[in-house]
Chain A
Amino acid sequence: MFEVFVDALAYSDVLILLSIGITLTYMTVKVPNFTHGDYASLGAYIAFTINLFYGIHPFLSIPIVFILAGLLSFIFYLFIFRPLSERGANLVTLMVTSIALELILRSLINIYADIMSLKTKIPIFRGFIFQDYLINIGIFLLPFSTIVATVTAVLIVSLLYLFLNKTKFGIAMRASIENPDLAKVLGINVDLVYSISWFIAGGLAGIVGVFIPYRITANPQVGWDLLLRGFAASVLGGLSSIYGAIIGGAVIGFAEIVGIYLLSQPPINLPIAYRPSIPYLTLIITLLIIPKGITGIDFSKIKRKIVGGRNGNN
């Protein structure tokens, strides 16, 4: 059971980083961005290539991966999504555009992988893993990658929290997301704020790519495979708050790993092949109960109810 928990933790870390970005881009331009998973594929390939040619440990390439994936997302915002959105493109137009971009991006990564495996005669370009090892912490044996992923996720979430609440630019980001017209009127350069949001969103997805090859074989469509889970996590979180995305990522991650573990045990004995359906079942069931997602829960109302109920008993 402990291994299952560790596995779920590693998986959640990845989904949290992914869904923060998906939520952030959705909040700014209202586009469900299908290219988001490919930033992760890109990140995986950058880390792999750097490691192969320069022997640099994948974790050390996190900063460069963050910057490159962030730049790509930023460029997509600046030259494609922003102009479209300014011309009044609706959600479907934006979404279809992102699907087209996704196909192009995935093809480019495929081409890159093919060219590189031909050139270097290293066939693993089309499917590679990073070597992990176990670390002894007290009585626990933990995979090093899980520790780094968890520390990274916690660090990023804390930094984001400080950024959004304690810095003027971060507050401006919240303001611009809530009411862009008012932000402009007050002298905030909303374009710049949104550009930075997209940069951060893409960068975080890129980092995801560095961690994936520690758990599964990475190939050019590994990010695409993760994307729908990222969407599930974001929708579960309500698509309107970064904190919702964090909870959504954790819920989906744990539901999939712990869920399939429990369901594959007697008496149910569900085949492991059903695993990919768990995140979506979790999503559907949760949304049936709380239609607006996790951030749609009115916690103060629940509190009042509990307190009120107590008073009633007195």
Chain B
Amino acid sequence: MYLLEAKNISAGYGKLQILFNIDFFVNDKELVVIIGPNGSGKSTFLKTLFGLTKIYSGNIIFRGINITRLKPYERARIGLAYLPQTNNSFENLTVKENLLMSMYGISEDIAEKRLEEILLFLPKIKDFMNRKVKTLSGGERQMVAMAMALIRQPNLIMLDEPTAALAPKLALEFLNKIVELKELYGMSVVLVEQNAKKALEIGDRAYVFVAGKSIFSGKTEELLRDKHLMQTYLGLS
């Protein structure tokens, strides 16, 4: 059984359909990469998995539960996490309050433990715990957002371009950390990345989205070998 399976998903915003019949799955402890041109529907797909868009048809099964009609906050509470591409922290709240919010519904003592663990993993955050997010730099914010998505130690985390705001060196460091985390917590990761090459190197399987359709799914090595796909859609050779 898959950890998460999306079957024949068509979804969009209101009447505006963006995604067309997408089939998608994630295995336990797997890092799945989604790549594709701008506007191809990668973010929309992650939002759909989290219940933030309108689903016209299809089903989403997570850990054996049909979550297609679950509310987003209910999905969060059964082990699904998501780091949005934009607006991924509360600007007017302090970093501490942001972290507190990302553990909403978790009991005090476990929350305390989780906070300690995430600060071990991303110790730089300690330096700005009591500052409002709006006073932080882009990179610092991204670090906070990352911590927020990870703090619950979810079974599956979906990261939408987590390295976009980071300096190249830090971006690589970040991607390596994601792999480390995956091993450490034994969780699965869905990663949307602009840095396709690096993402494909660390990933197990990949999907290529073009114009709201999934035109490739398979092992990352397979995709890396497919010169035609790499050139036409990803500008890589």
Contact of A174 with B92 in the complex, beta carbons under 8 Å: yes
- Main SS at interface, chain A: helix
Q: Which A27-52 residues have C-beta < 8 A from chain B? A: none
A172 touches B104 (CB 8 A): yes
- B100's partner among A171, A190, A191 (CB-CB below 8 A) is A171
Q: A171-B93, A182-B84, A183-B101 are in contact. Are A190 and B73 (CB under 8 A)?
A: yes
A186, CB-defined interface residue at 8 Å = yes
Q: Is the CB of A185 within 8 A of B101?
A: no
Chain B residues whose CB sits within 8 angstroms of the CB of A190 once the complex forms:
73
CB within 8 Å for A179 and B87 given contacts A185-B76, A185-B82, A187-B105: yes
Name which residue of chain B comes closest to A189, CB basis.
B73
Contact surface of B with A, Cβ cutoff 8 Å: 14, 50-52, 71-73, 76-77, 81-82, 84, 87-93, 97, 100-102, 104-105, 148, 152
Q: Is the interface of B mostly helix, strand, loop or mixed?
A: loop
CA distance A239 to B148 in the complex (A): 29
Chain B residue nearest in CB terms to A169:
B104
A185 vs B158: C-alpha distance when bound (angstroms): 11
Shortest distance in angstroms between B9's beta carbon and chain A's nearest beta carbon?
18
Contacts of A187 in B (CB 8 A): 73, 76-77, 102, 104-105, 152
- Chain A 160-177: CB-based contact to B (< 8 A → 1; otherwise 0): 000000001001101100
Contact-size category for A: 10 to 19
A178 close to B (CB within 8 Å):
yes
A181 within 8 A of B: yes
Return chain B residues, CB-CB under 8 Å to A185: 50, 52, 72-73, 76, 81-82, 84
Q: Is A71 an interface residue, CB under 8 A from the partner? A: no
Q: Do A172 and B101 have beta carbons less than 8 Å apart?
A: yes
25 contacts between A and B (CB under 8 A): A168-B104, A171-B93, A172-B104, A174-B92, A174-B93, A175-B93, A175-B101, A178-B93, A181-B84, A182-B84, A182-B90, A183-B73, A184-B73, A185-B52, A185-B73, A185-B76, A186-B73, A186-B104, A186-B148, A187-B73, A187-B76, A187-B104, A187-B105, A187-B152, A188-B104
Contact status of A186 and B76, CB under 8 A, knowing A174-B93, A179-B90: yes
A179 to B73, CA, bound (A): 14
Chain A residues positioned under 8 Å from B84 (CB to CB): 181-182, 185
Chain A residues 1-15 with CB under 8 Å of chain B are none
Q: Which of A120-178 contact B (CB under 8 A)?
A: 168, 171-172, 174-175, 178
Q: Are A171 and B72 in contact (CB under 8 A)?
A: no
Instruction: Report B-chain residues with C-beta under 8 Å of the C-beta of A178.
Output: 90-93
Provide the bound-state CA to CA distance between A226 and B148, in Å.
Answer: 44
CA distance in complex: A182, B81 (Å): 11
